[in-house]
């Protein structure tokens, strides 16, 4: 049976969260990756593999930090990464091999 004394002495559950500075760093990284994506468009040979890699990196940052899955159970992170991986695979399969 729980009494007020046991509740008062129960250890508090501290939830981990990223600091405000971390969010600004991640925002800066996302902005830098976006600029790199804009520059990669003009590379003739490596355009699609680089864009897919940058897309995956940006998705990972958003999922990990802005959706706070970095500090949750790893199962939640995997459940969000499966659709991202499926999107990458579909993008690779549906991208034409050559452009006119």
Domain with 41, as residue range(s), is 21-94
Tell me how many degrees the CA angle 8-14-82 measures, rounded to the nearest 5. 140
- The total number of structural domains in the chain stands at 1
Residue 32 dihedral angles phi and psi, to the nearest 5°: -65, -40
User: Is a pLDDT exceeding 70 seen at residue 49?
Assistant: yes
| Residue 99 domain flag | no
- Which tokens go with 47? 């355009």
- What pLDDT shows up at residue 51? 87
pLDDT digits (tens, 9 = 90+) for 65-99: 887 777 778 788 778 778 878 887 887 788 776 65
| Residue 2 domain flag | no
| Residue 54 domain flag | yes
pLDDT, mean of residues 34-42: 92
DSSP H helices in the chain? 4-8, 20-40, 47-61, 74-94
Output 34 or 20, whichever has higher pLDDT: 34
| Residue 13 domain flag | no
pTM over 0.75: no
| Residue 65 domain flag | yes
- What pLDDT shows up at residue 12? 56
């Amino acid at each position: 049976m729980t009494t007020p004394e046991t509740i008062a002495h129960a250890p508090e559950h501290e939830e981990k969260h990223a600091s405000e500075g971390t969010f600004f760093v991640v925002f800066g990284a996302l902005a830098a990756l976006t600029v790199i994506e804009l520059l990669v468009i003009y590379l003739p040979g490596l355009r699609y593999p680089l864009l897919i890699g940058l897309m995956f990196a940006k998705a990972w940052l958003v999922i990990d930090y802005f959706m706070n899955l970095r500090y949750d159970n790893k199962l939640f992170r995997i459940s969000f990464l499966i659709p991202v991986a499926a999107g990458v695979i579909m993008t690779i399969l549906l991208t034409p091999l050559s452009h006119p």
